[in-house]
Amino acid sequence: MNQRVDPDDLTALLRSVREREQGAFERLLDLYRPLLVSTVASFGEKGGVMMQEATIALYRAALAYSERRGTTFGLFAKICVTNALTSALRREMRREGPLDEATGEGTGTDPADELIYAEAVKDFYRLSTELLSPFELKTVILRADGYSNREIADILRKSEKSVANALGRAVKKIRERLSDSFS
């Protein structure tokens, strides 16, 4: 977002969007279009369906935003848009399935490999919940979802140093457990 918006004006605009005033969301969209375009581009896309997903996510962010969360609307919107695009990509990947729709032939994805992967993910999650503190687990999950340490700190309302320390502790605990399992 290149334009600076007075916080009071933004609060009033968000209120107008929530009250579904005509033209309010279009004004918000105009303000945050650069954010949407750059976020969609970071996913390797230029528009189309992903831009629609980003626009819907911006609208939902406007409806859900509360200043009491302790973060700016811009950061909250970026997080919401990024999460929505990530979810859209995951849904699309699941839809492609084991058959290539054009040829009807297999794509090489072995159902046994998928089952092994799913079991490994479950085992890793179980191991993580046993080893890690709730804060460490949250930081690992957010980092795996692609958030930076700064974004994680904002989301969890902690310092960036606390997030970095928690991630370091988590990696150390997991490495130690895995090395014990394979030795």
Mean pLDDT over each residue of the chain, to the nearest integer:
81
37 burial class (0-12, 13-18, 19+ CB within 10 angstroms)? middle
Fold of domain 110-183: Arc Repressor Mutant, subunit A (1.10.10)
Task: List the structure tokens of 110.
Answer: 């072995």
CA distance 130 to 103: 45
Domain boundaries in the chain? 1-97, 110-183
| Mean pLDDT confidence for 27-42 | 90
User: For the residues 85-111, what does the mean pLDDT come to?
Assistant: 61
Give residue 29's identity as a one-letter amino acid code: L
pLDDT of 105 reads: 46
Query: How large a percentage of the chain has pLDDT more than 90?
Result: 27
CATH value of 1-97 in 3.40.50.880, 3.20.20.70, 3.40.50.2300, 1.10.1740.10: 1.10.1740.10
- Tell me the C-alpha distance between 36 and 77, whole Å: 9
3-class DSSP state of 9: helix
User: Phi/psi at 52 (nearest 5 deg)?
Assistant: -65, -45
pLDDT at res. 26: 93
Q: What is the pLDDT of residue 103?
A: 43
**Residue 3 or 155, more confident:** 155
Predicted pLDDT of residue 100: 42
pLDDT for residue 68: 80
Over residues 36-89, the pLDDT tens digits come to: 998 888 877 666 788 888 999 999 999 988 888 778 898 889 988 988 888 887
Domains 1-97 and 110-183 share a fold: no
**Which one is predicted more confidently, 37 or 110?**
37
What's the CA gap between 112 and 98, in Å, rounded? 12
